[in-house]
Amino acid sequence: MAGRSRGGGLGVVAVAYIGVDYVRHLSPSWHEEVIQPVLWVVLAIVAITRVPSYKHWSAELRSSLVFIGSLVLMLSTLLYEMISVRSVTAVLGLTWHQSTPPLPDTGQWILLGLNEKLPQVIVNILRARIVGLHHYLMLFVMLAFSVLFGSIEAPGLGIGARYMFTMAIGRFLRAISFASTILPSPRPWCAASRFDVPQHPHPWAQKFYVPYATDSYAIRTVIHQDMVYDHVTVQADEYRPDWGFMSFLADFLRPLPSGESAWINLLKKAGGGCNDLLYSGHMLVAVLTAMAWTEAYGGWSSGFIWMLVLHSAQREVRERHHYTVDCIVAIYVGFMLWKMTGFLWPLKNTSRQARLNKLEKIEGKLYQAAKDSDLDQVRDLLKQVYDSSNQKKNQAGREKAMQFFAGGTIIFALTVVVLAFVLTSDGGRVVTETDNGRSFAVKVQLPAVNNIQQQLDPRGYPLPRRDLICKVVNILLQNNNSQKDPFIDLTEYLQTTLIHSPPLTVSEASEILKSIQHSTTLALEFFKFCPSSIPKFRHDAFTYNRILLILSNSNSFDSVRRIINDMDRSRVRGNISTVNLLIGIFGNQEIDLCLRLLNQWDLTMNRYTYKCLLQAHLRARDSTKGLQVYHDMTRKGYYPDIFAYNMLLDALTKDHQVDEANKVFQDMKRKNCEPDQYTYTIMIRMTGKLGKHDDAIALFHEMLSKKLAPNLIAYNTTIQVLAMNRMVDKTIYLFSKMVENDCRPNEFTYSVILNVLASEGQLGRLDEVVEISKKYMNKGIYAYLVRTLSKLGHSSEAHRLFCYMWNYHDKGDRDAYLSMLESLCKEGKMIEAMDLLSKIHEKGVDSDTIMYNTVFTALGKSKQISHLIDLYDKMKQGGPLPDIFTYNILISSFGRAGRVDEAVKIFEELENSDCKPDIVSYNSLINCIGKNGDVDEAHMRFKEMEEKGFNPDVVTYSTLIECFGKSDKVDMACRLFDQMLSEGCYPNIVTYNILLDCLERCGRTAEAVDLYAKLKEQGLTPDSITYSILERLQNGSHRKFRTRRQNPITGWVVSPLR
C-alpha cells in the first residue's frame, strides 16, 4: 500500500506516546492531571492544522454513511454485550461464582513454571502493565488521523468504519459465545466485587441447572428424557422494578431493592465482566488494532505492536483475567474477521476512474474519426470533452461545501474519540496502584447480611451456623430432660444472642430438627415454635420434608395429615421430595392424596416417585397396580433399579402372573439392568413351581455364566425345584457344589433333601449327604436331622443318626436328645427312653423338666405306673424341679390308671410346692375323682376351685356334667348346665352331646329336643355323635353302653360318646 512507503514517522510517534504515557507508573496523579491532557490536546491541534491541506474529502464523504452505520452498529452491539455481561453473572447468583473453582489452565501453569526458570528481569518485564485498552484505542486513533498526513491511504473514515464494523461483529459473536455457556471465572471473588446481584440463582437456573449440576444420575436422566423432571423451591420472589417498556430486562439484570433504580446505571456500573470469558474482548481490541496498523501502515512499528499484543495476552492469563484459550481464540477470530471486512476499506475512487475510462473511449473514437475524415463526429467528440471539463469545473465549485464537511467531520471525530476514552474502562480490572507506581490486587470482601459475614452454599442459601445449632439443641434436650419448658429458655436465648445477627434460618431449623429427631414430640413442638416465635420465619418445603421424615418413623398418620393441612394454609408449595415422603409414609392408603398434591403443586413425577409408588402397591400385595405403575414409568423413560425390579418380579410370581413376570424379566435385561442372584432365584422358583425344571436349571446356569455366585437362597430354591421333580442324583450333586463353593447349608436345605430321599425310598443316601457336608455338620444340624426324621416317622434312621452323633461327638445337643426322646416315646420304647434320659449327662447336657415331662406323658398314656413312680422319685432325688406341667401330667396319668389316691397325693404336693394349681390341675383332679365313682368329692373340688378364684371353663363343666349323668343324677347335670350358661361359659358341641346322651338314656325326649334347639341357636354344628343320639331318640332305643374316647386335654375319658 501507499502508506507503507512513507517512512516510520508514525511509528516513532506511537512508540513515543506509549513511552511518555508510561509515566503513569511513576506519578499517577501527575500523569492524569497534566501529561495525558497535554498529549491529547497536542495531537488534536496537530490534526486540525492538517485539515486545510487534505485533498481527499470527497472520499471521506463517500465513507461517512458507512462510518455512521458502523458506529451505530458497534454501540448497539456493546449495549447487548453489557446486558449479557451482567446477565451471565446474575443468572447464577454470587454464591455460585464464589464457590465454583476455576478451570484447569495449562497456560497459567506454563507461565508460573517460566517464572522459576527465567531471569528476574525478564519476569518483571512480563509482569509489567505496559499497555492497556486505552493505548490500543489511541494507537488506532493515531493511525486513522494519520490519513491527514498522507501516512495511510484515504479515506480515514473508511478505516474507522472497518475497525468499528469488525469490532461490532467480533463483540456480537463474543457475547453470544460467553452467554451460551457460562464458564467459572479464574477469579472466584470477581463477581462479588463488581456486581450487586442476588446471592442465589435465578429461577431459570433453579429449574434447569441446579438439580442436575452435580448428581451424575440426574445428569444421565435429564439427557435421556431431554426434559426437566425436578422442581426446586426458589429462596425468594425476584425483585422486579418498574422500568416501563424496559422492564423485561429485570429478568436478565436481576437488580436488588437496595441497588440502582435505573437499568442504564446497572450497565454503566458493570464495567468489565467476570464470566465473559470466551473469548477475550481486550485481546480482540488489541488484535484489530494490530491488524489495522499492519495493513494500513506496516513497517517495523507493526512488529512492535504485535509484540505488545502478545505481551498483553500473557498478562491477561498471568493476572487471571482470562484463560489461555480465551486469548488464543480472540487472536485468530480477530485476524479472520479483519480479513473478511476488506470491502469497507481501502475504497477505490470510482468517479475519477469512470472519467478516465470515458476520456479513453472518446480518445479512441476521435482518432478513428480523424482517420476517416469525419468532421461531424470530431465536433461531437470535442463537445463531449468540453462538457466533461465543465463538469470538473462545477465539481471544483463544491469545494467550499466540502470545507464545511471537513470541519464537521474533524469535530465529530474528535468528540467520538474523547467520549471513547472517557467512557471506556480497562475492563474493571480489580487493581490499584501505590504512590511508587507498583500495583497490587485488591482483596474483595463479600457482601454481608445485616453487617454480619455469613457464608452461603452453592445454591445461594446461608450455610447453617453450627455453633448456633449446637446451642439450641442443648437447650432443647437439657430442659426437656429436666421436665422444664425448653422453649422459654430458647426464646430468651434467641432474643438476646441474635439481636445483632441474622435470625434463625430455615436450613438451621432443619438441622436442629435433624438433631432432635429421636424425640418426635419435641421435634413437632419446635417445628410449631419457629413460625410463631421467630420474627419473619416461614417454613419452606425443606423443613416440612424434615418434619415429615421424623413423623414417618412414628407412624403418626394424623400428625402427617395435620402437617399437610398446615402447608396448604401457609401456601407453601412442596417439592417432589415431599410427595415421595408421603407415598413412603402412607403406602397405598393415601395414593389419591399424594397424586392430588402432585397436581396441586404442579410437579412432575421423577424416577424415585415412580419407584415409591411401585413399592407402595407391591407392599400392599397389589401386583396389578404395581405393574400398571411400572408401565407408566417405562413410558416416561424411567426404569426401576434392581431392588424395585426384584420386588415387582416377586409380587408377580406370588400372584401367578407368569407371563407378565417373564416380560418384566426380559425387559429388565434389555434396559441394561443386569439381574442379580435374587432376580434369578425368583425366576427359578416360579419356573420350578410350574414344573418347568429344565427352564429352572437353564436359569441357574445363566446365573453362573454371568459370574454371579449363587447365595444360600438361590441354592435352596434350585435344590427344591430338583427335589420337587424327584431328581435325587441332581439334587445331591447340586448340594455337593453348594458345599464346594463354601455356601453353608441351613435346616431348609437338609429338610428338602430328607423329604426327597424319604419319598423316593433312598434314605440310605443320607450318609452320603452327611459325608458331603461334614465340614458344616455340628450338633445343631444333627439335632435338626434327628428331629426331622422322627417327625417323618423314620425313627430307625433317626436313631441310627443319633447313635452316630453320640459316638463321634463328645458334646451333645439338647435339641437332638429331646428329639430322640420324643421319637422313642412315640414308638413306645420306654425302656430305651428312660435309659437315654439317664445317660444324657455323660455328653455334658443336663436333663431338664421338659425331657422328664416327655417321658412322663408317654408312661402315663401306656399306664406304666411303676416306671412312672420310679422316674418321679428319681427326679425328686437328683433331677430338675417339677413344674406345673409335671404335676398335671402325673395327676392325669394316675387318674387314667384309676389310682385316685396317688392323684390326690400329687395334687396335695402341688399345693405345698412353689407351683400352685391352675385350672388344668383342677380339671384333671375332678376328672380323676368323678370318673372313678366319687361324684360328690368331684363336686366339692369344683366348689373349692370356685372359692379359690378359678373360673371353671367348658372342660370343667363338661367333665362334671358327664359325671352326674353317669350317676343318673340328670337333674344335677341340667342345673350345672344352666349354671354354666348363667356364668357366661358357652358350652361346646361336646357338652351338648354329653347332656343329650344323659337325657336320651333317661327317656327325657322333650328336654333333649329343646336342648338340641339351643344347640342350633348357639350356632354350633352337630357332629356324627349328635346325629347318632338324635337317631336313637327317633327310634326309641336307649343303649346303656357307649364307646369311650380320650380327652385331648387330660389324656383320658371326658365323654362316653366321644
User: Taking residues 139-151, what's their average pLDDT?
Assistant: 78
Let me know if residue 393 belongs to a domain: no
Q: Pick the more confident residue, 792 or 333.
A: 333
Q: Look-up: residue for cell 461464582?
A: 97
Least confident of 160-174, 446-460, 689-703: 446-460
CB burial class (10 A; 0-12, 13-18, 19+) of residue 453? exposed
Q: Look-up: residue for cell 424496559?
A: 246
CA dist 1042 and 340 (Å) reads 124
Let me know if residue 290 belongs to a domain: yes
For residues 335 and 469, membership in a common domain is answered with no
Average pLDDT of the chain, as a whole number: 80
Residue 387 has a pLDDT of 64
For residues 864 and 789, membership in a common domain is answered with yes
User: Taking residues 542-570, what's their average pLDDT?
Assistant: 88
For residues 160 and 262, membership in a common domain is answered with yes
For residues 149 and 175, membership in a common domain is answered with yes
User: Taking residues 15-34, what's their average pLDDT?
Assistant: 68
CA dist 183 and 106 (Å) reads 16
For residues 262 and 148, membership in a common domain is answered with yes
Let me know if residue 390 belongs to a domain: no
Q: Pick the more confident residue, 1 or 792.
A: 792
For residues 481 and 569, membership in a common domain is answered with no
Q: Note the helical H segments in 655-778.
A: 658-670, 677-689, 693-705, 712-724, 728-740, 747-759, 766-772
Instruction: Classify each residue of 373-392 as buried b or exposed e, where b means 16 or more C-beta atoms within 10 Å of its C-beta.
Output: eeeeebeebeebeeeeeeee
Check pLDDT > 90 for residue 106: yes
789's CB contacts (< 8 A; 6+ apart) are 754, 795, 797, 798, 801, 823
Domain span at residue 554? 539-604
CA dist 894 and 788 (Å) reads 32
Identify the band that residue 425 occupies on the pLDDT scale cut at 50, 70 and 90.
Answer: low
Residue 1054 has a pLDDT of 38
Q: What is the DSSP string of 127-177?
A: HS----HHHHHHHHHHHHHGGGGTSSPSPHHHHHHHHHHHHHHHHHHHHHH
Q: Pick the more confident residue, 231 or 225.
A: 225
Check pLDDT > 80 for residue 989: yes
The DSSP bridge partners found for residue 433 are: 439
For residues 156 and 249, membership in a common domain is answered with yes
Residue 336 has a pLDDT of 92
Let me know if residue 625 belongs to a domain: no
Residue 718 has a pLDDT of 92
Let me know if residue 161 belongs to a domain: yes
CA dist 489 and 829 (Å) reads 77
Residue 901 has a pLDDT of 87
Residue 441 has a pLDDT of 38
The answer to whether the bond into 987 is cis (omega within 30° of 0) is no
Residue at which a domain ends, from 576, 604, 632: 604
Identify the band that residue 450 occupies on the pLDDT scale cut at 50, 70 and 90.
Answer: very low
Identify the band that residue 156 occupies on the pLDDT scale cut at 50, 70 and 90.
Answer: confident
Check pLDDT > 60 for residue 3: no
Residue at which a domain ends, from 604, 622, 644: 604
Instruction: Classify each residue of 937-965 as buried b or exposed e, where b means 16 or more C-beta atoms within 10 Å of its C-beta.
Output: bbbebbeebeeeebebeebbbbbbbbbbb
Cα distances (angstroms) measured from residue 200 to each of 70, 98, 262, 511, 555? 39, 11, 22, 20, 36
CA dist 839 and 834 (Å) reads 9
Check pLDDT > 60 for residue 1052: no
Q: Are 195 and 90 in contact (CB under 8 A)?
A: yes
DSSP 35: I
DSSP 235: S
Cα distances (angstroms) measured from residue 897 to each of 97, 125, 340, 913, 960? 97, 122, 124, 24, 19
DSSP 201: P
Check pLDDT > 70 for residue 480: no
Residue 1014 has a pLDDT of 87
Check pLDDT > 80 for residue 760: yes
For residues 6 and 35, membership in a common domain is answered with yes
CATH number at residue 843: 1.25.40.10
Check pLDDT > 80 for residue 544: yes
Let me know if residue 411 belongs to a domain: no
Residue 396 has a pLDDT of 47
Check pLDDT > 90 for residue 329: yes
Let me know if residue 34 belongs to a domain: yes
CA dihedral of 275, 277, 282, 286, whole degrees rounded to 10: 180
The three cell numbers of residue 33 are 492531571
Residue at which a domain ends, from 819, 848, 881: 881
Residue 465 has a pLDDT of 83
Work out the percent of the chain whose per-residue pLDDT is above 70.
82
In sequence order, what E strands does 227-361 have?
A: none
Residue 1053 has a pLDDT of 37
CA dihedral of 141, 144, 146, 152, whole degrees rounded to 10: 150
Residue 534 has a pLDDT of 87
Let me know if residue 944 belongs to a domain: no
Q: Are 455 and 462 in contact (CB under 8 A)?
A: yes
User: Taking residues 182-189, what's their average pLDDT?
Assistant: 88
For residues 526 and 569, membership in a common domain is answered with no
Among 334, 251, 276, 247, smallest CA distance to 81 is for: 276
Least confident of 18-27, 750-759, 956-965: 18-27
CA dist 791 and 784 (Å) reads 10
For residues 326 and 468, membership in a common domain is answered with no
Residue 314 has a pLDDT of 92
Least confident of 33-42, 507-516, 940-949, 1022-1031: 33-42
The answer to whether the bond into 279 is cis (omega within 30° of 0) is yes
Residue 1015 has a pLDDT of 87
Identify the band that residue 1055 occupies on the pLDDT scale cut at 50, 70 and 90.
Answer: very low
Instruction: Assign 1044 to helix, strand or coil.
Output: coil
Q: Are 575 and 606 in contact (CB under 8 A)?
A: no
CA dist 724 and 687 (Å) reads 12
**How many other CB atoms are there within 10 angstroms of residue 28's CB atom?**
15
Q: What is the pTM of this model?
A: 0.47
User: Taking residues 1007-1029, what's their average pLDDT?
Assistant: 87
118: left (phi over 0), alpha (psi -120 to 50) or beta: beta
For residues 310 and 197, membership in a common domain is answered with yes
Among 333, 338, 336, 340, smallest CA distance to 178 is for: 333
Residue 300 has a pLDDT of 82
Residue 435 has a pLDDT of 38
Residue 409 has a pLDDT of 65
Counted domains in the chain: 4
For residues 531 and 585, membership in a common domain is answered with no
CA of residue 705 relative to chain centroid, distance: 33
Q: Nearest-5° angle of CA 225, CA 229, CA 234? A: 145
Check pLDDT > 60 for residue 540: yes
CA dist 479 and 489 (Å) reads 8
